[in-house]
């Protein structure tokens, strides 16, 4: 009965969303507060209904109720309990319910954020947000209903793709979705502003925390996905320029640009039209990502089911929302009051450059991802655009951006001084150059990219720290004054410094991949495999049984520089519940931020020896640590009191040129 009530809640949520979409707009147009207010309780109601529906679906998974078709197709009674739960969103229907649930969560949060948002803006935003909810609820109810029932219920389920039975899956999609869907709020804000024809610093101030929240979750989601691919796929790679990865990278790049352009809009009341456009584009790219992943246009691990009807439906949603919003933009944007121009050499000037580079980088990813699809549609020729393309286009755009980042960060608003800024950055530049030279000398003969990249990363970190230090110490005398300045500095200043330092950490991790090694050997117990100072010794191969799989374990002793450093177990799993599908569970051991990564290949015909791949991955963890630091910086900025009371710009109070960037692999 619960399942049926949940199904009904889903339909009811659609009805309520329709009301939330229509009535508030009417109220805003007619200046009728009562009508405009309808959106608020409706948004909360929709969230509660969807929360209930999703919880019930999860419950059905937990108790293996195979009378629910979605559960029967994607779960199995022998699956470990935690993966029964996470399997709720490990499939198309469940993940779409999660999608709208998060959508409605953001709607409810906007409805409850009474103090910090002007009434008209809130009502318009809720209505625009509800239109997205309506579209996706229709999509779910008509093409992807998770509550379809089976009678009689099958005795056993089909189980979840084993590669998705992993804790990474438990975390990655929800984070990513919060990011994707979070940008829907920014989009809704933009639509509300366009409909209302009013946009100003208040708008930028109101949008910023939401953008930051979406951005930080998207950052974590992408990082988590990358780490998951790294340890689960068993190839030791962490970024493949896979179209599905690109689909999440594009909104991230646009969102990063958006964070920075709203600063300009808020502080200098300019870049308005561009910011609105960027808000629309960011969410459009999120929708495009959803379309690419869900429609089966691209095949990948994320494509749970390919169903042309679904693809068509999402395509229609895509066209309505992107086309509709761009048309609205074309119609209303010229009526917006333009902001002033400003000097090219100034904080705002550098932020424009930041936006320019980010948009261009996003454009190259867009072309690289969609060009093969377009070409195949037009000429039938099949091509693959892989890492070489992105390395040749994306990197040359991102590296200058990163080099310029510290300059923007420490330049003054309105009228900057290039030379003065360079002087202020002198220490950081010197630290970066020294780091490069030293590392180059120590690893002479090795790849050149690594020391250069690490130098860049060190420069980014040093300049972020230096800039922060200077603000605290300069013009203050005495310990007490320094403390008071440190306490008085807005949290967003710490946040942006932290985010930029996070970029630096990540750049170091990426640069160090140039030193990574890969060795392949056929080993039997007793064999040794060495690279540099690291040796693995195969101890034994033995079978083991898990809850819904059997596995062959290769156990290796690890020696670093002649010293015993524990053992690594590396597994080859066979999932009996899924047609004996095999997965590789790499054995990974961390030494500080560096890792030793051992994965098993094929068992040799003789049955006693096995192919082994050993990777050494110096500093690899810095890639993900850097992303977490970035996200943490974003979180720190959100907690800035000023967003809540909507305090104004103090000149030079906030930082932020340049954007954090993930970089291509290998």
Partner 1 sequence: MTRKQRRLAIIGSCGFVLAIAAALVLFAMRDSIVFFHGPSDVIDKSIQAGTRFRLGGLVKEGSVVREGQTVTFDVTDTSKQVRVTYTGILPDLFREGQGVVTEGVLQAGGLFKADSVLARHDENYMPREVADALKKQGHWQQAPAKPQS
Partner 2 sequence: MLIWVIFAALLGAAVLVALLPLSRGSMRPVMNADARLMYEAQLADIGQDLSRGVISAADGELAKAEVARRLIRAAKDGDVAADAVGEATYRRRRAASAIILSTIPLVALSLYAAKGSPLLPAKPLAARLSADPANMDLAVALTRVENHLQLNPSDGRGWEVLAPIYLRTGRFDDAARAYANVAIHLGPTMERLVDVGEARVLAASGVVTADARAAFDEARKLAPLNAKALYYLAIAREQDGDKAGAVADLKSLLASAPADAGWKPMVEERIATIEGAPQVPQGGEAIAALAPQDRMAAIRGMVDGLSVRLSERGGTAEEWGRLVRARTVMGERKLAEEALAKARAALASDAAGLASVESVARESGLEVRP
Q: Choose, by CB under 8 A, the member of 51, 85, 113, 149 that binds partner 2.
A: 149
CB atoms within 10 A of CB 1: 5
Cis bond before residue 152 (omega within 30° of 0): yes
Minimum separation from the CB atom of position 310 to partner 2 (A)? 16
Interface mask toward partner 1 for 160-199; x: CB under 8 A: -x-x------------------------------------
244 in Cβ contact with 292 (< 8 Å):
yes
CB atoms within 10 A of CB 411: 25
User: Radius of gyration (Cα) for the chain, nearest Å?
Assistant: 26
d(CA 607, CA 280): 58
Minimum separation from the CB atom of position 382 to partner 1 (A)? 4
Phi, psi angle pair for 611, to nearest 5°: -70, 135
- Does 471 bind partner 1 (CB under 8 A)? Our answer is no
Q: Choose, by CB under 8 A, the member of 152, 308, 526, 592 that binds partner 1.
A: 152
- Please give the size of the binding site for partner 2, defined by CB under 8 A: 85
H or E segment to which residue 216 belongs: helix 201-232
Minimum separation from the CB atom of position 304 to partner 2 (A)? 20
- Does 357 bind partner 1 (CB under 8 A)? Our answer is yes
d(CA 66, CA 157): 7
Interface mask toward partner 2 for 46-75; x: CB under 8 A: ---x----------x--xxxxx--------
Interface mask toward partner 2 for 587-606; x: CB under 8 A: --------------------
Range list of β-strands (E), 136-190: none
Pick the closer one to partner 1 by CB: 351 or 619. Answer: 351
CB atoms within 10 A of CB 268: 21
Pick the closer one to partner 1 by CB: 154 or 532. Answer: 154
Q: Choose, by CB under 8 A, the member of 40, 65, 73, 467 that binds partner 1.
A: 73
- Does 109 bind partner 1 (CB under 8 A)? Our answer is no
Which position has the token pair 């179209």?
243
Interaction partner, residue 515 (partner 2, partner 1, none; CB < 5-8 Å by kind): none
- Does 373 bind partner 1 (CB under 8 A)? Our answer is no
DSSP assignment string, 41-103: HHHHHHHHHHHHHHHHHHHHHHTT-TTBHHHHHH--TTS-HHHHHHGGGSSHHHHHHHHHHHH
Pick the closer one to partner 2 by CB: 132 or 223. Answer: 132
Interaction partner, residue 144 (partner 1, partner 2, none; CB < 5-8 Å by kind): none
- Does 341 bind partner 1 (CB under 8 A)? Our answer is yes
- Does 28 bind partner 2 (CB under 8 A)? Our answer is yes
- Does 649 bind partner 2 (CB under 8 A)? Our answer is yes
Q: What own/partner pairs with CB < 8 Å and gap ≥ 24 does 26-30 have?
A: 27/123, 28/120, 28/123, 28/124, 28/127, 28/195, 28/196
Tell me the two tokens of residue 290: 């959803």
Q: Choose, by CB under 8 A, the member of 81, 142, 331, 371 that binds partner 1.
A: 371
- Does 350 bind partner 1 (CB under 8 A)? Our answer is no
Pick the closer one to partner 2 by CB: 187 or 203. Answer: 203
Pick the closer one to partner 2 by CB: 112 or 520. Answer: 112
528-531/587-591 β-pairing: unpaired
Show contacts with partner 1 in window 560-579 (CB under 8 A): 572, 578-579
DSSP assignment string, 257-316: HHHHHHHHHHHHS--HHHHHHHHHHHHHHHHHHHHHHHHSSS-STT-----HHHHHHHHH
Spatial CA neighbour of 115 closest among 639, 645, 492: 645
* DSSP three-state, residue 603: strand
310 in Cβ contact with 292 (< 8 Å):
no
Pick the closer one to partner 2 by CB: 62 or 370. Answer: 62
Pick the closer one to partner 1 by CB: 250 or 385. Answer: 385
Minimum separation from the CB atom of position 147 to partner 2 (A)? 7
- The vertex-434 CA angle with 428 and 440, nearest 5°, equals 135
d(CA 575, CA 598): 21
Pick the closer one to partner 2 by CB: 62 or 560. Answer: 62
Minimum separation from the CB atom of position 543 to partner 2 (A)? 11
Show contacts with partner 2 in window 262-321 (CB under 8 A): 269
Pick the closer one to partner 1 by CB: 330 or 356. Answer: 356
CA distances from 365 to 306, 390, 395 (A): 24, 7, 11
d(CA 294, CA 93): 10
Minimum separation from the CB atom of position 172 to partner 2 (A)? 27
Pick the closer one to partner 2 by CB: 154 or 323. Answer: 154
- Does 41 bind partner 1 (CB under 8 A)? Our answer is no
- The vertex-216 CA angle with 215 and 219, nearest 5°, equals 85
Minimum separation from the CB atom of position 117 to partner 1 (A)? 32
- Does 120 bind partner 2 (CB under 8 A)? Our answer is yes
DSSP state of 524: -
- Does 77 bind partner 2 (CB under 8 A)? Our answer is yes
- Does 234 bind partner 1 (CB under 8 A)? Our answer is yes
Q: What own/partner pairs with CB < 8 Å and gap ≥ 24 does 539-543 have?
A: 539/567, 541/608, 541/610
Interaction partner, residue 171 (partner 2, partner 1, none; CB < 5-8 Å by kind): none
H or E segment to which residue 610 belongs: strand 610-617
Interaction partner, residue 235 (partner 1, partner 2, none; CB < 5-8 Å by kind): partner 1
- Please give the size of the binding site for partner 1, defined by CB under 8 A: 58
Interaction partner, residue 507 (partner 2, partner 1, none; CB < 5-8 Å by kind): none
598 in Cβ contact with 612 (< 8 Å):
yes
Show contacts with partner 1 in window 298-337 (CB under 8 A): 299-301
301 in Cβ contact with 161 (< 8 Å):
yes
- Does 364 bind partner 1 (CB under 8 A)? Our answer is yes
Interface residues with partner 1 (CB under 8 A)? 69, 73, 150, 152, 154, 158, 161, 163, 233-235, 299-301, 341-344, 349, 352-353, 356-357, 360-361, 363-364, 367-368, 371, 381-386, 388-389, 391-393, 396-397, 520, 522, 572, 578-579, 581-584, 601-602, 604-605, 611, 613
């Amino acid at each position: 009965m619960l399942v049926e009530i949940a199904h009904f809640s889903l339909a009811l949520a659609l009805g309520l969303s329709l009301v939330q979409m229509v009535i508030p707009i009417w109220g805003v147009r007619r200046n009728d507060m009562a009508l405009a207010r309808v959106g608020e309780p409706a948004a909360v109601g929709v969230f509660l209904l969807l929360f209930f529906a999703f919880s019930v679906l999860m419950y059905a998974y937990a108790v293996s109720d195979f009378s629910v078709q979605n559960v029967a197709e994607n779960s199995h009674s022998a699956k470990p309990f935690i993966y029964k739960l996470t399997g709720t969103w490990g499939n198309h229907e469940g993940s779409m319910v999660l999608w709208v649930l998060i959508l409605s969560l953001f709607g409810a949060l906007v409805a409850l954020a009474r103090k910090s948002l002007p009434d008209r803006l809130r009502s318009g935003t809720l209505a625009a947000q509800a239109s997205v909810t309506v579209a996706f609820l229709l999509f779910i109810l008509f093409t992807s209903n998770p509550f379809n029932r089976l009678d009689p219920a099958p005795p056993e389920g089909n189980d979840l793709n084993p590669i998705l039975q992993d804790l990474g899956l438990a975390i990655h999609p929800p984070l990513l979705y919060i990011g994707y869907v979070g940008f829907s709020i920014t989009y809704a804000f933009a639509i509300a502003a366009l409909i209302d024809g009013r946009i100003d610093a208040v708008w930028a101030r109101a949008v910023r925390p939401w953008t930051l929240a979406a951005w930080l979750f998207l950052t974590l989601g992408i990082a988590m996905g990358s780490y998951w691919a790294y340890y689960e796929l068993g190839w030791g790679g962490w970024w493949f320029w896979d179209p599905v990865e690109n689909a999440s990278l594009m909104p991230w790049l646009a969102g990063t640009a958006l964070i920075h352009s709203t600063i300009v809009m808020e502080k200098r009341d300019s870049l308005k039209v561009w910011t609105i456009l960027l808000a629309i584009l960011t969410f459009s790219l999120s929708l495009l990502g959803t379309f690419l992943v869900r429609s089966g246009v691209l095949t990948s691990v994320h494509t749970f089911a390919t169903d042309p009807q679904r693809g068509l439906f999402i395509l229609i949603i895509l066209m309505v929302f992107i086309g509709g919003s761009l048309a609205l933009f074309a119609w209303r944007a010229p009526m917006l009051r333009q902001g002033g121009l400003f000097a090219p050499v100034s904080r705002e000037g550098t932020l424009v450059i930041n936006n320019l580079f980010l948009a261009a980088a996003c454009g190259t990813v867009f072309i690289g991802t969609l060009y093969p699809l377009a070409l195949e549609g037009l000429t039938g020729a099949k091509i693959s655009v892989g890492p070489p393309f992105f390395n040749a286009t994306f990197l040359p755009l991102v590296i200058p951006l990163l080099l310029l980042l510290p300059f923007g960060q420490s330049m003054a608003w309105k009228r900057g001084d290039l030379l003065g800024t360079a002087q202020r950055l002198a220490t950081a530049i010197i630290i970066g150059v020294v780091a490069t030279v030293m590392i180059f000398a120590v690893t002479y003969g090795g790849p050149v990219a690594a020391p250069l990249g690490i130098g860049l990363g060190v420069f980014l970190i040093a300049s972020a720290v230096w800039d922060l230090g200077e603000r605290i110490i300069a013009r203050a005398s005495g310990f007490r004054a320094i403390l008071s300045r440190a306490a008085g500095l807005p949290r967003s200043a710490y946040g942006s410094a932290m985010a930029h330092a996070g970029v630096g950490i990540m750049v170091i991790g990426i640069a160090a991949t140039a030193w990574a090694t890969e060795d392949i050997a056929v080993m039997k117990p007793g064999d040794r495999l060495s690279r540099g100072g690291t040796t693995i010794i195969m101890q034994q191969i033995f079978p083991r049984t898990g809850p819904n799989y059997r596995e062959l374990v290769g156990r290796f002793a690890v020696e670093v520089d002649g010293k015993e450093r524990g053992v690594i177990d590396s597994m080859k799993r066979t999932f009996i519940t899924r047609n004996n599908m095999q997965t590789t569970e790499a054995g990974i051991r961390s030494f500080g931020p560096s890792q030793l990564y051992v994965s098993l290949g094929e068992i040799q015909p003789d049955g006693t020896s096995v192919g082994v791949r050993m990777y050494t991955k110096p500093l690899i963890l810095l890639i993900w640590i850097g992303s977490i630091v970035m996200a943490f910086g974003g979180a720190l900025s959100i907690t800035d009191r000023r967003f809540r009371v909507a305090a104004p710009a103090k000149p030079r109070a906030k930082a932020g040129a340049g954007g954090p960037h993930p970089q291509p692999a290998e």
